[in-house]
């Protein structure tokens, strides 16, 4: 921090350093105490900045949350869309890809993901600002379209409702991540994350793909063997 950074010149791209400090602090505080459970003063303190400055960069508390969420969510969605709408991918690849995107986001910035899960996916709806709610629902709809297309090509069982498939996939990913966020999974190592990601994708795919054994299945068995003794499961006989 604190290289003077050409005040008068350029700086157009360089979004104020301070602003970003505040944004970062907001993520951390929101993750720790939740949006409603914290005051602006907390964010300011965390950022090491005067109370009033927060209002210099953000219209109000809600815009602060909105900004945090918008940036995080749009990144996630665009990555996910790229995977879901690339028709070079099989359904299986798409599902795996989506799980990848979600878990990678968590690996990179767990606290930001926590905020997204808490304040977007699980926002108390109702009177709540519609935009967040809407963004989430739109994402599910996008996935539902993906599944509908997969049904047309026979990659997905015809007897399933695409919308419900989408809900299920997101439910699985969301609660999977929540298990980490909430501390239900004690082992939070990258390997544990990787294992969880695989289990989620595998289970989901086995559940919705036509026919009995999938290539996923084979790949999984392969993986299991090649990685030597599995670290966790299977200690009860």
Partner DNA sequence: TCCCCGGCTGATTGGCGAATCAACCGGCCG
Partner DNA sequence: CGGCCGGTTGATTCGCCAATCAGCCGGGGA
Tell me whether residue 226 is exposed, middle or buried, using C-beta atoms within 10 angstroms of its C-beta: 0 to 12, 13 to 18, 19 or more.
exposed
Q: Which residue has the tokens 């990685």?
A: 227
Q: Which of 40, 77, 219, 220 binds its own copies (CB under 8 A)?
A: 220
> At its nearest, how many Å lie between DNA and the CB of residue 116?
20
Alpha-carbon distance of 142 to 74, in angstroms, equals 13
Indicate the residue among 41 and 82 with the shorter CB distance to DNA.
41
Helix axes 91-108 and 130-152, enclosed angle (nearest 10): 150
Site string for its own copies, 165-184 (x = CB under 8 A): x-xx-xxxxxxx-xx-xx-x
Q: Check binding of 34 to its own copies (CB under 8 A).
A: yes
Give the CA angle between residues 60, 28, 79 to the nearest 5°.
90
Q: Which of 14, 207, 218, 227 binds its own copies (CB under 8 A)?
A: 207
The SS3 assignment for 99 reads helix
Q: Check binding of 41 to DNA (CB under 7 A).
A: yes
Q: Which residues contact 54 (CB under 8 A, 6 or more apart)?
A: 22, 40, 43, 44, 47, 64
Q: Check binding of 135 to its own copies (CB under 8 A).
A: no
User: Binding residues for its own copies, per CB under 8 A?
Assistant: 31-37, 118-119, 121-128, 133, 137, 140-141, 148, 151-152, 158-165, 167-168, 170-176, 178-179, 181-182, 184-185, 195-196, 199-200, 202-208, 212-213, 220, 224, 230, 232-234, 236-237
């Amino acid at each position: 921090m604190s290289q003077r950074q050409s005040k008068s010149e350029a700086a157009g791209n360089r979004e104020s350093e301070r602003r970003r400090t505040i944004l970062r602090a907001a993520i951390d505080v929101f993750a720790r105490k939740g949006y409603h459970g914290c005051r602006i003063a907390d964010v300011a303190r965390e950022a090491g900045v005067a109370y009033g400055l927060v209002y210099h960069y953000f219209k109000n508390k809600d815009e602060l949350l909105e900004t945090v969420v918008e940036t995080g969510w749009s990144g996630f969605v665009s990555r996910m869309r790229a995977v879901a709408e690339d028709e070079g991918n099989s359904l299986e690849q798409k599902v795996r890809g989506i799980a990848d995107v979600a878990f990678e986001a968590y690996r990179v910035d767990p606290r930001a993901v926590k905020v997204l899960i808490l304040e977007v996916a699980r926002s108390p709806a109702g009177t709540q600002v519609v935009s967040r709610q809407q963004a989430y629902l739109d994402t599910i709809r996008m996935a539902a379209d993906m599944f509908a297309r997969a049904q047309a090509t026979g990659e997905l069982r015809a007897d399933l409702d695409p919308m419900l498939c989408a809900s299920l996939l997101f439910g699985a990913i969301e609660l999977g991540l929540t298990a980490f966020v909430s501390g239900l999974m004690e082992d939070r190592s990258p390997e544990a994350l990787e294992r969880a990601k695989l289990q989620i994708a595998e289970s989901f795919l086995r559940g919705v793909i036509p026919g009995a054994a999938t290539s996923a299945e084979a790949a999984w068995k392969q993986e299991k063997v090649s990685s030597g003794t599995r670290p966790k499961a299977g200690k009860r006989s």
